[in-house]
Structure 1
Amino acid sequence: MTSSQKDADITGNAPASRQPVILRAGTHDRLRRVMPESTRCAYTGDLRRFLTWCGDQQLLDVVPTLDDFDTLAAALHALLADGSDSHMVVTDYVRSLANAGRAPATIERALAAIAAAHRATAAAALPTDGPRAVLRAYRRDQATSGPGGRARKAAPVTVTALRAMVSVLDRSTPAGVRDIALLVLGFALAARRSELTALDITDLVFTPNGLHVTVGTAKTDRHSAGRTADLPWGIDPRTCPVHTAHAWLTTLADHRRTTGPLLVRIDRHGRLGLVPTGRGSADGRLTGQAVALIVARTAAAAGLDPHAAWSGHSLRRGFATEAYRTGADLLRIARAGGWKDGSTTLHGYIKDIDRRQINP
């Protein structure tokens, strides 16, 4: 007698067939939001380029046209399920990126995007020994080809550079007031681009001692524990985080914006937070790419070194550089900027300073 017959004998009824388990829409939404939107957007582009390359290699009959991470991940799953050797395909793709002269960091992100899509659709981890071996060889080739072949590091925005940058911005326009607040707060918080653009108006609270800022989540903050920062009054009003934040919040209030994103788009007519025609969210929030463009554009207008790599990361690196130069403890710098204890990235910034200041 089978177990089903036993169940039927005990209950007097035939057992009902088990219904398939289907995830609810809310569950799908939370799973989707585990990945930050900026990362999802970057990974989507990486996946699209990989699948386009697969199409050129005749590994795919049809390349998806929808610009959506989940759709592209499903196409990747179909490619791998079709019997293709995923390890060899990805290894050859890394070789093609290296031959095209892509930056090692760009190749690293492409690998991360492919691995993330693979995890989203398959049980087994994607083997990356071959791709990473090709990438290591490429890094070695770059290192031995002279300074021109090495990756350019973001130039640090020092206090002197920050003062020069804010001095060329027009404080009589909403865009000028916003850009000053962006530069000063980005520096004072040692913020990543994603942290800066994720700030909401309600994350800023004025206190008798200055400005209290809540940074809700960060790139390396997997559990979204967040961090807080207390920014004191500055000596120079032009680069005082309290003054510049107050000026920008007043501008926002004049445009009837007291909630929502702190940093918003401004069109050429001075209108705030309109729905974008291209990349960007409907609430008018500034993108990380826009932050990078503002930093680079303002550095150029201020006459800073045109050969240096000015980017959104320049503010974060500048904070670490200036704090260490003034004698701040390395652990306090890490805690203030949200670096992990023992961060190799932070130590890299410090080594660059030590080579100049503590040269044996």
Structure 2
Amino acid sequence: MQNSWYDNQSHLDEAIDRAVEVGLSARTQKLLDAAESQHTVEAYSRYWELFRSFCENYGGRGLDGVRRKGLSALPASSDTVAEFVGYLAHRGYKPKTIRVALATVRRRHRVDGRPVPDCTQANAAVRGYEQVLLEQGWRPKQSAPARTSDLEKVVHTCDLGGPAGLRNRAMWLLGYAVAARRRVYVNLNVTDIRHDDRGQLLRVLIWRDKGKQNRKPPVGHWGRVRKGRCRDPLCPVCAVMDWIDYLAELGVRDGPLFRPVDKGGNVGGVRPIAGGGDARLAPSGVNRIFRACVAEAGLPPDITPHSLRAGFATEGYELGADGLALRRHGGWSDDSTAFNQYVRGVDDERHSPLHVVAENRRKGR
């Protein structure tokens, strides 16, 4: 009996060893990949390949003092990661991109169960690289906050007699109203828009927003409602319902909310569109739509899809909206540093000590 137990245990150990050697199955890896957005997965893959190629081709002295070509990518040493920063800086990559590449290296080590390399030197090298660029006149690019005055210019250019104009108006106004990230436009379905019985309010169900959270921001009319609509041209409820009604006329009552529209007015998923493509917008498609709208409306090029999220926070805070309510409506954490960056400029201007000096001079005249 004892020998039989040991025999069975031995077979079990061998089976475990074989499973470990085989690694993750394709179906399990597919689920892991689905945990991240397509854009994120592509970025991780691209930057990991860049790091792996760097390690393979780098010539230098290893930790043992021997000079050889090639460094270990997995696991990587802290010196290797720091040298990677120097390599990317030499090739002209921007600091923000380098930080994403470092995050990719750390993530790959965690996923593979390897010790994450100490990135203290690497992070210091990025800061030093930023300082060098700043002294040369470089400035980091940031999306400017889009305000309601910008929304008016965009809406004015939308041809509401066709699907592209109806869709674009709905994207801009809803994006501002729910502080949308780009993935929101991609992921939203028609059935994620819930309308109350009185026609006064939309409840937008946003699934798997950043941080893997779900949220349901309420969106109300911006004007007085009569027969389910109001006359405010910037009303997000009316814009979204007009687009949903148009889709319903085409027989679309579920599936992607925002879809590609070709120059012939064909809507993706309803009839073939020029160039083919999916019924659901891709992140790159969202960018193209926004760039086209920005150019047509004559807005500055630093207005991007993220500008609507920044504008929601900035303009709302300027007009006196509660900071905590803004955070929770827009899906920021209560202590979000990103949100604080949006509103810090408002507070700096509102409470500037120079206002006191200027007021004192005016009183003395």
When normalised by structure 1's length, the TM-score is 0.80
Summarize the alignment of residues 193-212 of structure 1 with structure 2, pairs less than 5 Å apart.
193-207=182-196, 208=198, 209-212=200-203
Query: Partner of 1:265 in structure 2?
Result: 260
Measured at CA, do residues 30 and 12 of structure 1 come closer, stay the same or move farther in structure 2, by a change above 3 Å? closer
Name the CA distance, whole Å, in 2 between partners of 1:118 and 1:15: 32
Q: Which moved more, 1:23-32 or 1:244-253?
A: 23-32
Shift of 1:128: 1.8
Query: Partner of 2:362 in structure 1?
Result: none
Q: In the alignment, is the contact (CA less than 8 A) between 1:324 and 1:350 conserved in 2?
A: yes
Percent identity among equivalent residues?
31
Shift of 1:58: 7.3
Shift of 1:123: 2.5
Structure 2 alignment gaps of length 5 or more = 61-70, 224-230, 354-365
Q: For 1:36, give the aligned amino acid.
A: S
Q: Residue 334 of structure 2 is aligned with which of 327, 341, 346?
A: 341
Query: Partner of 1:105 in structure 2?
Result: 96
Query: Partner of 1:38 in structure 2?
Result: 39
Query: Partner of 2:238 in structure 1?
Result: 243
Q: In the alignment, is the contact (CA less than 8 A) between 2:201 and 2:218 conserved in 1?
A: yes
Deviations 1:162-203 (A, max 9, x none): 111111121122111111111111100001111232111110
Structure 1 alignment gaps of length 5 or more = 1-5, 60-77
Q: In the alignment, is the contact (CA less than 8 A) between 1:293 and 1:311 conserved in 2?
A: no
3-state SS of paired residue (2:211): coil
Deviations 1:231-260 (A, max 9, x none): 001235321111110111122223332211
Query: Partner of 1:72 in structure 2?
Result: none
Structure 1 position 180 matched with structure 2 position 169: yes
Measured at CA, do residues 12 and 310 of structure 1 come closer, stay the same or move farther in structure 2, by a change above 3 Å? closer
Structure 1 position 133 matched with structure 2 position 120: no
Name the CA distance, whole Å, in 2 between partners of 1:39 and 1:194: 11
Deviations 1:81-100 (A, max 9, x none): 5xx85433332221122233
Shift of 1:320: 0.6
Shift of 1:54: 4.6
Query: Partner of 2:356 in structure 1?
Result: none
Q: In the alignment, is the contact (CA less than 8 A) between 1:38 and 1:194 conserved in 2?
A: no
Measured at CA, do residues 124 and 181 of structure 1 come closer, stay the same or move farther in structure 2, by a change above 3 Å? same
Query: Partner of 1:287 in structure 2?
Result: 282
Name the CA distance, whole Å, in 2 between partners of 1:323 and 1:252: 31
Matched pairs, number: 325
Shift of 1:326: 1.4
Structure 1 position 228 matched with structure 2 position 216: yes
Shift of 1:24: 5.7
RMSD over aligned CA atoms reads: 2.9
Structure 1 position 17 matched with structure 2 position 11: yes
Shift of 1:323: 0.8
Q: For 1:304, give the aligned amino acid.
A: L
Structure 1 position 93 matched with structure 2 position 75: no
Structure 1 position 359 matched with structure 2 position 352: yes
Q: In the alignment, is the contact (CA less than 8 A) between 2:258 and 2:280 conserved in 1?
A: yes
Q: In the alignment, is the contact (CA less than 8 A) between 2:52 and 2:73 conserved in 1?
A: no
3-state SS of paired residue (1:328): coil
Name the CA distance, whole Å, in 2 between partners of 1:13 and 1:106: 54
Name the CA distance, whole Å, in 2 between partners of 1:177 and 1:32: 34
